[in-house]
Homo-oligomer: A and B are copies of this chain.
């Protein structure tokens, strides 16, 4: 086996996730497969897998999240529900670098806003209030 049983299951869990879970959530999901797995093991392996390029780490102030999609793409975090979504609607090809003082290794673009669901809920809440 290439990877330890635990590492395999952690990778599998991230690959099966369509959201962008943090270590804690991943730990809870992996526990369904390995009930006694420790959070430290999850952290250690997420670090390993991210460094190895198997998964992508996204930095957030309230904890890093992980992404099965490893090619460069943008993310948007909903300020209301705090969920993170892929955001492929920004044309990165047109980015113009006027300067080359830096040896650029990576670029990360993170947006914040309100997702469709929360926009809808806001409208409904507002209507409910009005009717009263």
Binding site for B on A (CB under 8 A): 59-61, 64, 76, 78-79, 87, 89-91, 94-99, 101-116, 119
Contact = CB atoms under 8 A, between A and B. Distances in A.
Contact of A90 (B79, B97, B116): B97
Nearest to A116: B101
A111 B103 contact: no
Contacts of A87: 99, 102
B106 A109 contact: no
Nearest to A110: B108
15 contacts: A78-B102, A87-B99, A89-B101, A90-B95, A91-B98, A94-B95, A94-B96, A95-B95, A101-B116, A102-B113, A105-B113, A106-B112, A107-B111, A107-B112, A109-B109
